[in-house]
A and B are shown apart, each in its own frame.
Chain A
Amino acid sequence: MAIYLDCNATTPVEPSVSSVVMRFLEKDFGNAASPIHDYGVFALAAVEHARGQVAEVVKVRRDEVIFTSGATESNNLAIFGLAEEGIRSGRRHLITTAIEHKAVLEPFEEMARLGFDVHILPVGADGRFDPQRFADALRPDTFLVSTMQVNNETGVLQPLTEVAEILSNHDAWWHVDAAQGFGKGLEQLRHPRINLISISGHKIYGPKGIGALIARKHERQFPPLRPLMFGGGQEQGLRPGTLPVPLIAGLGEAAKLAVRNNNERAHKCRAFREQALATFLALGAQRNGAEDYTLPHVLNVSLPGINSDLAIKALKNVISVSSTSACTSHTHTPSYVLAAMGLSSEKIEQSIRLSWCHMTPDVDWSEVENILCALRG
């Protein structure tokens, strides 16, 4: 079996997360909304415990965590959930960046159709947007800003600290899509100026189908979100539906481990990165994205003279890698992220994304090098 190097698409599940999920699937299967007997009470206790574990990652209160099905839903709830307030207040200017995930860009397209004025910030060759350009784009009527924490294709951290500073005297709502960075880069998301944070369980060694929108209260008030679905009143009325207790408990366990093992995980990923980087640099690869801002578990490179589709197929028995994000790879369209960074079509077609984790076993890098050399042959 090839070694899995596509952890930005989804991560393997931590063994203790699996155990917790199985417990609530098989034995403790109560409904958290039926706390009239021990089954329901225990389910509710597990949900609240998990809420606290997720809250701890970004140092918010438990009641600021709203469970959803994942970051896509969280992004939609953050963006469309604020639409009514934007219309009511007459502030219709929105800002986002060209390298956001489709789960942000497509809701913004829809917001534009609804009459909002969407400004999309470009990025530089380093894979980051320029805080000065952000400051220049900001207007008195800017209602919502949505910026990702870490890009899913390049692993590049975005300048959130600078944005927080710029927004310190502005009352625009600020949403951060943290699907790729939550539980990895801890400090950035703890900044109190960030109003809304989207997270996903399956990017932090938790189960698929669970995530959360973290909504920081300001002066004891939630951001003025409106629900997108109705019926049941769960999650403070913002996300009705029976809570998936096994998935929520699994997400909580994953969040706990993300904090507890953060340094150890980063250390292992850095060691792995050194070997991967050395291999690809020896092949003359060009790194895509600023090295200084790239998280230690991601490497995006373009290999001169080698088409990425051919490379991925040639390597499939040794390592499993991808050429773009999981949500767009099935369409075989060139990476819009790398295009936004100014890469030529040729470089984009030569790009490979490798992403690993603390559980990734050692790779035979000499075999990888030999296969790619033969391909270039």
Chain B
Amino acid sequence: MSDIFKELEEVTVEQYDHYDLPKWLADPVLLVARSPELYQGKEYLVEILAAQVREYDVYAEAGCCKWAYDHEDIKRTLRWLED
């Protein structure tokens, strides 16, 4: 398995187990992480997804500046991965 898929799995499990990443979002991300053969050539997007999961914040849209990622960002990247 490519390092980036392994990294995506680790960070998603971490965010789900210990932080605020909801199951409905963690499940499709883990599906990507555990199916590297389906996403060959899309590693750049997987890298972005891993960064977004790592910096996931339920309240990313709150306040004046958006310096975290929220469920909309992750959903969008999942959609790009399927395009």
Contacts and interface: CB of A to CB of B under 8 A. Distances in A.
Given A41-B76, A46-B48, 16 more contacts: A20-B44, A23-B44, A38-B80, A45-B73, A45-B76, A49-B47, A49-B48, A49-B51, A52-B51, A52-B55, A61-B67, A62-B55, A62-B67, A63-B65, A63-B67, A256-B47
Contacts of B48: 45-46, 49
* Dominant secondary structure of chain A at its interface with chain B: helix
Nearest to B67: A63
A336 interface: no
Nearest to B76: A41
B45 to A, nearest CB: 9
Interface in A230-256: 256
5 contacts: A45-B48, A49-B51, A62-B55, A62-B67, A63-B67
Contacts of A49: 47-48, 51
Interface of B: 44, 47-48, 51, 55, 65, 67, 73, 76-77, 80
B30 to A, nearest CB: 20
B13 to A, nearest CB: 20
B28 to A, nearest CB: 17
A29 interface: no
Contacts of A23: 44
A365 interface: no
Assign chain A's interface to a size class.
10 to 19
A293 interface: no
Interface in A151-178: none
A56 to B, nearest CB: 9
Interface of A: 20, 23, 38, 41-42, 45-46, 49, 52, 61-63, 256
Nearest to A252: B47
B67 A45 contact: no
Contacts of A52: 51, 55
Contacts of B51: 49, 52
- Minimum-distance CB pairs A-B, first 4: A63-B67, A49-B48, A52-B51, A49-B51
Contacts of B47: 49, 256
Contacts of A45: 48, 73, 76-77
Nearest to B68: A62
A42 to B, nearest CB: 7
A42 B44 CA distance: 12
Nearest to B3: A260
Contacts of A20: 44
A201 to B, nearest CB: 18
A61 B80 CA distance: 26
Q: Which of A49, A61, A62 has the most CB of B within 10 A?
A: A49
B69 to A, nearest CB: 8
A41 B47 CA distance: 16
A81 to B, nearest CB: 20
B51 to A, nearest CB: 5
B25 to A, nearest CB: 17
Contacts of A61: 67
Nearest to B79: A38
A16 to B, nearest CB: 9
Contacts of A63: 65, 67
Contacts of A62: 55, 67
A42 B67 contact: no
A294 to B, nearest CB: 32
A49 B44 CA distance: 10
A261 to B, nearest CB: 12
A42 B65 contact: no
A59 B33 CA distance: 26
